[in-house]
Amino acid sequence: MSKRWPAVDALLLSALVLMSTIPVAAANTAPSKARTGPDLRSSAFYVLDDTDSRVLAARNERVAVPIASITKLMTALVVLEARQPMDETIAITRDDVRGTPGSSSRLAVGARLTRADLLHLALMSSENRSAHALCRQYRGGTQACVRAMNAKAKALGMKTARFVEPTGLSAANVASPEDLAKLVRAAGANPKIRAYSTDPEHVVRVNKQSLEFRNTNLLVDKSNWQVTVQKTGYIAEAGRCLVMEAVIDGRDVVIVLLNSWGRLTRIGDANRIRSWMEASRASTAG
């Protein structure tokens, strides 16, 4: 028996050498994150390369969920398509207060702003009374405005979308991430929505007082981001949401992020998408 041990030892040694190479081979062949998709924390998302209509990443993309103030993009679309005078002055009323329960506003009853300023604040600063006043002053009133919002959703092919009011404070305003990408693309085609939604700040005059409003999306003021249209949103039922179109690595990219519970998670996810795209491009080029 003792004469057989050297052969056995040699066999074991060969096996050990072979096994030691397996982790290295696995590490070399395992797919990287750049190939498998970005590591995102939002519960639902949809990332579309609009340059060639290619879906880059998605999760729960066809499930309709509450969309919070992303609603205001649709409100803006139908208000602008109604072609009412943008310089017409509209007063904030008690109806606008009652129509936006549980939300705060610096626009008191009696404040008078132009339709353009109300639209600017609704898109940039997510001002709820502004959005409600715009819809209230729509031809035919609030209900006609909401009907127009649902008709527009249907025209855009948003099969899961449903709107019951213009601000997004109701959890009954729902849509899937995939359908919201269609809304973002339509909104991005409108110059006013692009300009108003991405403006870092805007000052309005109310009762001889200047009020400064800032954008709810931190990315619009970042030099390393080129955001062309955007909207944020939050209610408890929807979590923190962000939709936008941005130029990333020379591509027009639509990003939909829904139900991001951390305060900065949606911003972090947007940055992770950009980093992933840039890393993927570098990996392909290399």
List residues with catalytic annotation.
Answer: 69, 72, 126
Return the closest-CA partner of residue 42 out of 267, 274, 229, 245: 267
